[in-house]
Each structure stands twice: as structure tokens, then as C-alpha cells.
């Protein structure tokens, strides 16, 4: 039985939840009280759950894994699904997942958090910097998806499951209408949503939905 530590606002947790659902594997959700309680910052949590202070964390087979990319790769290898068909595809999957973690998810998730959930009013200069980086990363992915149905090859892989992590949340949270600005990403999100097991992040992860603060 898998145990996934996460919370509903966390697109990184959604990546792992979506993968478990796509595999049809039963799993238990363990709520991380990040939004109200800052549980991930507590020394005890860091000692016993994740020294990096981050969700998601997957417990399985006597292991405790963090980093959504490591979790997705481990699950894909373990179940022999969504990993890419051959060695070339698997390196392509890795390449896009690294791009995702550094840029595609990272800038967008930070921007959304600061806009919607950060305690303090965000600094406009910081937001402008992040928006610029988002536009660049999303432009690259939109161009790639003009010639490919999925991020790697013509079938879904963990690269898709990773990169879609933050893109099914309501537009008002980020204030960025990704589907309108990037039509190829919009069409790809529909294809990814057709993977069996897909569910809205707010329905498949624990933790109350919170209205955006701004």
C-alpha cells in the first residue's frame, strides 16, 4: 500500500497522486498541513518525513521518497508504465522533467503561491521577473507541443504527468490564463486529462480548498 504525504494546493503532490491513480494503485493520503500550520517547517517533520521540508513524500516498500521527479521515475520503473518505450525516450523524459523542475513548474508554482496564498503582498518587480520566466518556459513547451501530442513520443509518460502538475488549478489562483495564451498546451492538457485516473487536484488530495487572497 502506498502512502502519499501531500496537500491539495500542491501541484507537486498532484503529480504523484495522478501517477498512482493512472497506475490504478490504491494509496492512502497523509495530509501535510502546509498552508495553515507550516508543518513542513517543523523540525520533527523534517526529521521523520523529509529533511528537505517539502511535499510530496511517498512511502512504499520500506522506502520514503521525496522529489516528485524521483517518485514518478521510481513508480514508472516499478510498474513498467509511463516511462518511455526505449532508452532514447527515457532520456528525453528525464530531460523534460529536469526542465519542468527547474523552470516550467517552478516559476509558475512560485508565482501562483505568491499571488494567491502568500501572506504578504508580492513585490511587483519579483512578480514581473517570474512572469517573464514563465512566458519563456511556456513558449518553449507550446512550440514543442505544436509537433508532438505528448512531451515525449506519441504516448503519455511521466514527463506529461510531471509537467501538467499545476495546470488544472483554477485560473484565478495564478491569474494566468494558460489555455488562452498557449493553444498547444491547452490541447495537450485535454489529452493528458483523458489518461484514466485523472482527477481534479482538489478532489484527489487532502486539505480544504482556500479562496485566493488576491
Ligand X SMILES: N[C@@H](CCC(=O)N[C@@H](CS)C(=O)NCC(=O)O)C(=O)O
List of residues contacting ligand X (CB under 6 A) = 10, 12, 40, 53-56, 67-69, 101
Question: Taking the complex as a whole, how short is the minimal distance between the CB of residue 65 and ligand X, in angstroms?
Answer: 10
Three cell numbers, residue 71: 517518485
Q: Which is nearer to ligand X, 70 or 146 (CB)?
A: 70
Q: For residues 1 and 170, give the distance between their C-alpha atoms in angstroms, rounded to a whole number.
A: 31
Q: Are 202 and 8 in contact (CB under 8 A)?
A: yes
Report the SS3 class of residue 44: helix
Question: Taking the complex as a whole, how short is the minimal distance between the CB of residue 12 and ligand X, in angstroms?
Answer: 4
Report the SS3 class of residue 3: strand
CA nearest to 58, candidates 125, 50, 167: 50
Question: Taking the complex as a whole, how short is the minimal distance between the CB of residue 183 and ligand X, in angstroms?
Answer: 27
Radius of gyration of the chain (CA): 17
Three cell numbers, residue 50: 523529509
Q: Which is nearer to ligand X, 22 or 55 (CB)?
A: 55
Q: Which is nearer to ligand X, 68 or 157 (CB)?
A: 68
Question: Taking the complex as a whole, how short is the minimal distance between the CB of residue 154 and ligand X, in angstroms?
Answer: 26
Residue-level length of the chain: 214
Strand-pairing partners, residue 59, are 3, 64
Question: Taking the complex as a whole, how short is the minimal distance between the CB of residue 70 and ligand X, in angstroms?
Answer: 8
Q: Which is nearer to ligand X, 149 or 212 (CB)?
A: 212
First to last CA, the chain: 39
Q: Which is nearer to ligand X, 162 or 192 (CB)?
A: 162
Amino acid at each position: 500500500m502506498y502512502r502519499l504525504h501531500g496537500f491539495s494546493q500542491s501541484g507537486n503532490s498532484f503529480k504523484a497522486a495522478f501517477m498512482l491513480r493512472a497506475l490504478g494503485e490504491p494509496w492512502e493520503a497523509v495530509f501535510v498541513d502546509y498552508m495553515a500550520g507550516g508543518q513542513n517547517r517543523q523540525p520533527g517533520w523534517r526529521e521523520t518525513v523529509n529533511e528537505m521540508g517539502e511535499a510530496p513524500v511517498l512511502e512504499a516498500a520500506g522506502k520514503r521518497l521525496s522529489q516528485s521527479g524521483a517518485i514518478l521515475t521510481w513508480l514508472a520503473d516499478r510498474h513498467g508504465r509511463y516511462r518511455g518505450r526505449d532508452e532514447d525516450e527515457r532520456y528525453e523524459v528525464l530531460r523534460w522533467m529536469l526542465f519542468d523542475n527547474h523552470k516550467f513548474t517552478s516559476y509558475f508554482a512560485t508565482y501562483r503561491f505568491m499571488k494567491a496564498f502568500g501572506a504578504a503582498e508580492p513585490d511587483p518587480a519579483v512578480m514581473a521577473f517570474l512572469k517573464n520566466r514563465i512566458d519563456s518556459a511556456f513558449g518553449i513547451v507550446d512550440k514543442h507541443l505544436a509537433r508532438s501530442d505528448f512531451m515525449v513520443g506519441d504516448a503519455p509518460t511521466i514527463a506529461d504527468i510531471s509537467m501538467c502538475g499545476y495546470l488544472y488549478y483554477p485560473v484565478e489562483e495564478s491569474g494566468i490564463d494558460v489555455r488562452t495564451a498557449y493553444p498547444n498546451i491547452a490541447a495537450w492538457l485535454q489529452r493528458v486529462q483523458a489518461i484514466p485516473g485523472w482527477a481534479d487536484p482538489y478532489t484527489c488530495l487532502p486539505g480544504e480548498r482556500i479562496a485566493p487572497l488576491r
